[in-house]
Amino acid sequence: MATQNSSPHLREIPPPQVSFHRTELAPILSLYGRMVAAGEWRDYGISSLREIAVFSIFRRTAENPMYRIEKRPKLRDKQGMFAVIGMDGQVLRRGQDLKTVLRVLERKLIRSVD
């Protein structure tokens, strides 16, 4: 009679998902709120995947995202784990400090007053 070894410590544990921490979401949502008040942005979506977390920003709900704020922990020691990516896939800014990376989007809020 063959016995099956089904002890729980031998099962593969799936890798954890990458997600934004509360301290990382605060500056993102602050910027998002200001842009909504200015009438620039309308909707957002958050995706937590195995190797990446994405905050997508939409002008309208049914469109492709205008911008994506990505968190890739594997790039922490290389290029920086945060990135802002435009609609065409171009990396607008990448770095270690989220607030510094988000400055590229804050410039869109500044307008000349006539």
**Residues in contact with 104: Cβ distance below 8 Å, sequence separation at least 6, in sequence order:** 84, 92, 93
Q: What is the pTM of this model?
A: 0.76
Residues 59-95 have pLDDT tens digits of 876 678 888 999 888 878 788 889 999 888 889 899 8
Residues 17-54 have pLDDT tens digits of 888 889 989 999 999 898 888 888 888 888 888 889 99
Q: Which two tokens stand for residue 36?
A: 């909504």
